[in-house]
Homo-oligomer: A and B are copies of this chain.
Amino acid sequence: MKIGKQTYLIDKPVYIVGNFSIVGPKEGEGSFGKYFGLVLNNDLWGEKSFEKCEIKMHRETILRAIYSSGLNENQIDAVMGGDLLNQIIATNFAAKDIDSIYLGIYGACSTFGEALGLASLLIATEQMKTITCSTSSHFSSAERQYRFPLELGNQRTPTAQWTVTGAGCSVLSAEPRAEQPKVKITAVTFGKVTDYGIDDENNMGAAMAPAAASTLIAHFKELDRSPAYYDAIWTGDLGKFGAGLLNYIMSSDNLPLSDTHHDAGAEYYRANQHPVQGGSGAGCSSTVFNSYLIDKLRKREIKRLLLCPTGALLSKYTPLQGATVPAIAHAVAIEAED
């Protein structure tokens, strides 16, 4: 049911019944290391290219998330997801091996939020029963596609972030899984494209913070909720600088996020791992959600979570042609059922 201009209440329960996450070695040593489903020993996983490794991570994450849900592959109505590689090839190629319809989507690092939102609407309206929502990114494939060859060893700017090598998948279903603490999606606020004129492609946090604020403000106002409704509000990959900006904008709008706000990117790595402003990438929020956060929800350490993946809608060429960096964010309310 639509509430306001951007928000949808999920009327019939949509349960999260399966999860998996696969990350690279650096991510395994980071703050959420012990929660991930699988930590790779290196960033190739036996493949001949970083892109092929990302495809394998993406495919295996979907397959293991389905396995973890106790469902069979042929019970999946749709594979929905995306990634940062040109023409989202990691997701396209991963979907080859799953006998289901495929719905590729793209919202940069907000893609996981878009997938959860769209899938929730399709399941709540009984069009589909079970959908996998997956995203991935890979430091080395992203670095050479968006920035410089790794071999250059380029210096990073003070506002740079570190692309997460990781893939995460949630299986959404109309039916809860027996003997599993129930976690369900209760509301979604889809984002609008927001552009505050940031033109520094090494400052994604500044580009994305206004988009996160726009979506969060719409969410709270349209549902007539305050940030205090949630035990925890997790943005995707604003990084430390971007998270600070978001809090500044929210406070200016009299909706301060206070202690409940965390940013997956800002907290992804430990300080001695030198991620500059923190992690980023389409795999950032999806790996944290499908490991650490789902664990907290199943254990009721978090009962009401607002997950808000954030994405910068640029390509390598838009800044070179003098364009600004538009951004988008989608917010998904996820609650542990009593």
Contact = CB atoms under 8 A, between A and B. Distances in A.
Interface of A: 1-2, 5-6, 8, 48-49, 51-52, 77-78, 82, 84-89, 92-93, 95-96, 99-108, 114, 118, 121-122, 125-128, 190-193, 195, 313-318, 321, 323, 326, 328
Contact of A48 (B5, B128, B321): B321
A102 B328 contact: yes
A321 B51 contact: yes
Given A93-B323, A103-B118, A121-B122, A85 B8 contact: no
A315 to B, nearest CB: 4
Given A51-B321, A101-B191, A193-B96, A127 B86 contact: no
Nearest to A7: B101
Nearest to A93: B326
A321 to B, nearest CB: 5
A193 B104 CA distance: 10
A192 B100 contact: yes
A52 B321 contact: yes
A46 B214 CA distance: 32
Q: How many copies does the complex hold?
A: 2
A321 B324 CA distance: 32
Nearest to A1: B127
A315 B48 CA distance: 17
Given A118-B118, A191-B101, A192-B100, A92 B313 contact: yes
Given A104-B107, A317-B86, A193 B95 contact: yes
Chain B CB within 10 Å, residue with most, of A5, A8, A92? A92
A84 B85 CA distance: 13
Nearest to A323: B93
Q: Shortest 10 CB-CB distances between A and B: which pairs?
A: A125-B125, A92-B313, A101-B190, A87-B315, A86-B315, A104-B106, A96-B193, A86-B86, A95-B193, A106-B106
Given A49-B321, A108-B87, A321-B51, A103 B92 contact: no
14 contacts: A2-B127, A52-B321, A86-B315, A87-B314, A87-B315, A89-B314, A95-B193, A96-B193, A103-B114, A104-B106, A104-B313, A105-B105, A105-B106, A125-B126
B8 A127 contact: yes
Contacts of A128: 2
